[in-house]
Structure 1
Amino acid sequence: MTTLLKHLWKKATLTTLTVLAFTLSGHAQDAKTEADLQAIMQQHDMIGLSVAVVKKGEIVYTKSFGLKDVESQKPLTNNDIFRIASISKSFTVTALMQLVEAGKLSLEDDVSKQVGFEVRNPRYPNKVITLRMMLSHTASINDSQGYFTLDSIDPAKNPNWAACYNNYEPGTSYEYCNLGFNMAGTILEKITGERFDQYVKRHVLDPLGIYGGYNVDSLDASRFVTLYEYNADSSSFTPSPSAYNPRRQEIRNYVMGKSTPIFSPTGGMKMSAPDLARYMTMHMNQGSYKGTRIISKKSARQMQAKIADNGYGLALKTERNLIPGISLVGHTGNAYGLYSAMFFNPKEQYGFVVITNGTSAPEVNEYNLALADVINSLYKNLIN
């Protein structure tokens, strides 16, 4: 063998060994990650868990554990879809920001002019309640009268409408409010003339190549993950079939600009963890995903910018305690026993989506303790 051939053979062998070493290291890393996640699931009585991790614009890890449905013992897969609860709010704002960019709407608009009835805190009747306030939970509106119909806050429909407002001046303090986001979905319909669920699908989901939606009957029901409410008194789980209530009769009688809460702009999106990670990446990349721009950089920055004292912006919140010492932007969800979280670091370009369909772990400071453990594990094993 000539000296050149020996050199080339040695170089090729070293390259092969290097690739093999990286592959084995990756497998060991994945095995460690999965062992940690399985231990967290056992610690917090998690029925199922689906996760996705993004680095530099790419999903680098996605995995599902546990059960999709306890009764049938079906395993959970990455293809299965959950009702993701309040992370849905960011889809509503993303859609509205498109209208802001088109000049059809302003964040400083008086909400009263958009919803069709007066929206004023009776204690501060001269203070305009703006769309920005409503989308940042600083409008002084609350959910005390319910949020499944806008009649609860309409002075002409509810004699107790004033109870929908808190004692403080609009724009000065924060209270999480689902009613405000159902109102926001109604505003989108009134401006576009397009049904809320269909607008979001056409203008946000389809351009991103994402499977999901607010309308149950537009989706493959065989992919729905059963959600389980935990009862601490009996230490037991109960399925929540109402999470996927199709509400067909209400949709048949749908009134544009009024019936919007049927689709729950505040919490009704259904989607898989990997697809939610793709959507998250769009926000992490300031409104663009793989060459497709959904909103402008300015709109993306506005959504992520802190408005409320707790770090909440426009359906995205800056969270500084989820991973100690790390600032993340995102949102959580909690409904029907499901807990979800979507958080990313826009500077370092990594992020996490974690969803469980049932756990005994409680929610503290607007995020679930089990999901916090999962995110910290993913950060430790795959990012740090």
Structure 2
Amino acid sequence: MKHLLTILFLLLFGFQAQAQNRTKERLTQLMESQSVMGLSVAVVKDGKLVYTDALGWKEEGKVALQTSDLFRIASISKSFSATSIMQLVEEKKLSLDDDVSDLIGFKVQNPKFPETVITLRMLLSHTSSLNDSEGYFTLDAINPAKNTNSAKVYNEYEPGKGYQYCNLNFNMVGTIIEKYSGERFDQYVKKHILDPLGLYGGYHVDELDESRFATLYNYSRDSAKFIPSPAAYASRKTELATYQMGYSTPIFSPTGGMKISAPDLAKYMIMHMNYGKGEKAKIISKKSALEMQTPLSADENYGLALWKTDQLISGVALTGHTGSAYGLYSAMFFDPEKKYGFVVITNGCDPMEENGYIKVIRQAVNVLYEEWVKP
């Protein structure tokens, strides 16, 4: 029996070594065939992190990318905000059907539909009828006392009866988390999600090790060059000096400002894959996790900061989110039933698309699926 177990171990080790070598070779070829600065990836299989790697540059031509490097992951950040909301709902501090006007402290109402309440659920699912036409870096954009053009943030359709992806939705969500938890937004997420799961990262750039930040680059097709985006990790010390709890929250960007490594993002993904239970802690209930993963619209397949797709890998149903900002592109997608998933992050690439996804991201995910999961 012992001899048989040894043989099985060696076979498994051999398979993994071969898969690692093939994956690195194929990802390297992918990066060489397109314009890519750096690529950090992670694979979860059978509910466990089985592979992680980093290729290319953290700083162009100077510093190689490492798996421990941090990225501002853009809109995948929204799921951290939604997870926080579900925790507060479970504590009965909030309800998904609460009127946002009551929660936020000023009138949030589509003037074309004055009888229709805009709810917290609508913010989380992008069905609020809001848009980003007045910006989203401050709540002044939608506050009628601060912006005479605030009516422009509302679309022509009735709240709850249409879909438009809107970053302002989630900067408002972050503010609501702050008001009803009594904790500053960045500190809430760290204390209630990151720390229990044993993850390094956060929304507050000044509290993180800046030597671990992967420089983000916008790619210029005209010059075929990568242009650094220092604003991605800009300090918030000045804004914090006059910070107003329950209003200044957008400076942390609940909609896109999480900084984390690919392996730690994969460990966070495992929590959602296991319907709220991470490797080290239970973060939300199964009911809450299922609610986040269940699409509210058959047209958009978007739930609460997570959506379903079968186009990232053709014909394979996955749940997750993408991100794009400052030249970065990211993806976190998983199958909660078969217990596998992928994280792919690039700190800069040619933003060519394929099947509605950034080509480099989509092709990298397919490489990981073919080498580690596909029967």
TM-score using structure 2 length: 0.96
C-alpha separation in 2, matches of 1:144 and 1:365: 27
Candidates 218, 223, 228, aligned match of 1:239: 228
1:378 and 2:368 equivalent?
yes
1:198 and 2:187 equivalent?
yes
CA contact under 8 A between 2:206 and 2:236: conserved in structure 1?
Answer: no
Residue aligning to 1:352? 342
Q: How does 1:16-27 map to 2 (within 5 A)?
A: 19-27=9-17
1:42 and 2:32 equivalent?
yes
Q: What amino acid does structure 2 have at the position aligned with 1:177? A: C
CA apart distance, 1:351: 0.3
Q: How does 1:199-218 map to 2 (within 5 A)?
A: 199-218=188-207
CA contact under 8 A between 2:354 and 2:362: conserved in structure 1?
Answer: no
CA apart distance, 1:58: 0.9
1:117 and 2:106 equivalent?
yes
Q: How many residues matched?
A: 373
C-alpha separation in 2, matches of 1:87 and 1:276: 9
Residue aligning to 2:245? 256
C-alpha separation in 1, matches of 2:18 and 2:89: 48
CA contact under 8 A between 1:273 and 1:354: conserved in structure 2?
Answer: yes
TM-score using structure 1 length: 0.94
Aligned-residue CA RMSD (Å) = 1.5
CA apart distance, 1:22: 3.9
Q: How does 1:117-136 map to 2 (within 5 A)?
A: 117-136=106-125
Candidates 89, 95, 99, aligned match of 2:78: 89
Listed one character per residue, the Cα deviations across residues 200-228 of structure 1 (whole Å, up to 9, x for unaligned) are 00001000000000001110000000000
Listed one character per residue, the Cα deviations across residues 120-169 of structure 1 (whole Å, up to 9, x for unaligned) are 11111111000101110010000000000111111111111111011011
Which is worse superposed, 284-293 or 139-148? 284-293
Helix, strand or coil for the counterpart of 1:293?
A: coil
CA apart distance, 1:21: 4.2
CA apart distance, 1:289: 1.1
Candidates 142, 147, 152, aligned match of 2:141: 152
What residue ranges of structure 2 are gaps of 5+ in the alignment?
none
Residue aligning to 2:167? 178
C-alpha separation in 1, matches of 2:99 and 2:271: 29
1:332 and 2:314 equivalent?
no
Residue aligning to 2:88? 99
Residue aligning to 2:275? 286
CA apart distance, 1:50: 0.4
Residue aligning to 1:272? 261
CA contact under 8 A between 1:81 and 1:225: conserved in structure 2?
Answer: yes
Q: What amino acid does structure 2 have at the position aligned with 1:157? A: K
C-alpha separation in 2, matches of 1:147 and 1:291: 35
C-alpha separation in 2, matches of 1:221 and 1:183: 27
Candidates 187, 200, 204, aligned match of 2:176: 187
Residue 18 to residue 161, structure 1, CA distance change in 2 (3 Å): closer
C-alpha separation in 2, matches of 1:332 and 1:292: 25
CA apart distance, 1:31: 1.2
Helix, strand or coil for the counterpart of 2:244?
A: coil
Helix, strand or coil for the counterpart of 1:185?
A: helix
C-alpha separation in 2, matches of 1:79 and 1:56: 23
Residue aligning to 2:295? 306
Residue 16 to residue 191, structure 1, CA distance change in 2 (3 Å): closer
CA apart distance, 1:242: 0.6
Candidates 343, 348, 369, aligned match of 2:333: 343
Candidates 29, 49, 71, aligned match of 1:59: 49
Q: What amino acid does structure 1 have at the position aligned with 2:133? A: S
What residue ranges of structure 1 are gaps of 5+ in the alignment?
1-7
Task: Compare CA radii of gyration and give the structure with the larger one.
Answer: 1
C-alpha separation in 2, matches of 1:335 and 1:325: 28
Residue 185 to residue 273, structure 1, CA distance change in 2 (3 Å): same
Q: What amino acid does structure 1 have at the position aligned with 2:209? A: D
1:138 and 2:127 equivalent?
yes
Helix, strand or coil for the counterpart of 1:313?
A: coil
Q: What amino acid does structure 2 have at the position aligned with 1:353? A: V
CA apart distance, 1:23: 3.1
CA apart distance, 1:366: 5.8
CA contact under 8 A between 1:332 and 1:366: conserved in structure 2?
Answer: no
CA apart distance, 1:32: 1.1
Q: What amino acid does structure 2 have at the position aligned with 1:170? A: P
C-alpha separation in 2, matches of 1:233 and 1:242: 22
CA apart distance, 1:176: 0.5
C-alpha separation in 2, matches of 1:214 and 1:337: 18
Detail structure 1 runs of 4+ shifted over 6 Å in the superposition: none
Residue aligning to 1:5? none
